[in-house]
Amino acid sequence: MQYGSMTRVFLADAHSDERKALRVLLRDLKMEVVGEASDWSGTLDRAPTTGLDMLLVDWAMLPASLGVKALADLRVACPSAVLVVLISHLDARHQAALSAGADVFISKSDTPERVAERLQSAADTLRV
């Protein structure tokens, strides 16, 4: 990605109100939402086709039957994307998310300012 162009983000979260809040936050950060999914299969089907730079996915949406393999599957489907995982409760799961291929984790309980800071930091890793 060239410096100065918009970061293209795919949102994957089961909750429409959370996706809406994230869209507003991303727009404020001058990032473009290129697609959304409210379920796991929609994420795997659509995300790889969008030309995304960053995939923002809610940990709770990942199928429990797959565990951290679900993130590994996302990494394979979107190998060049920065993979950001949203987690409701910080615990040992964030280490599992990072181990499975996530680049960044963000707590949903963080302030909007902190979430914005973490997203901008993740986007900055795309700049060459």
CA–CA distances in Å: residue 35 to residues 45, 65, 102: 11, 25, 19
Give 13's pLDDT tier (boundaries 50, 70, 90): very high
Give, as one character, the DSSP assignment of residue 32: E
Q: Are 56 and 12 in contact (CB under 8 A)?
A: yes
Distance CA(39)–CA(45), nearest Å, equals: 10
Q: In angstroms, rounded to a whole number, what is the distance separating the alpha carbons of residues 111 and 89?
A: 14
Answer with the residue of higher pLDDT: 26 or 101: 26
**Higher local confidence (pLDDT), 77 or 67:** 77
Q: What is the pTM of this model?
A: 0.82
Residue 111 has pLDDT above 60, yes or no: yes
Share of the chain above pLDDT 70, in %: 84
Helix (H) or strand (E) holding 86: strand 82-87
Q: Does 2 score more than 50 pLDDT? A: no
Closest listed residue to residue 22, CA positions, set 108, 122, 125:
108
Sequence-ordered list of residues with C-beta below 8 angstroms from that of 93, at least 6 positions apart, any chain: 59, 87
| 8, 20, 41, 71, 127 from 36: Cα distances, Å | 12, 10, 12, 17, 23
Is 8-124 a CATH 3.40.50.2300 domain? Answer: yes
Q: Where are the domains of the chain?
A: 8-124
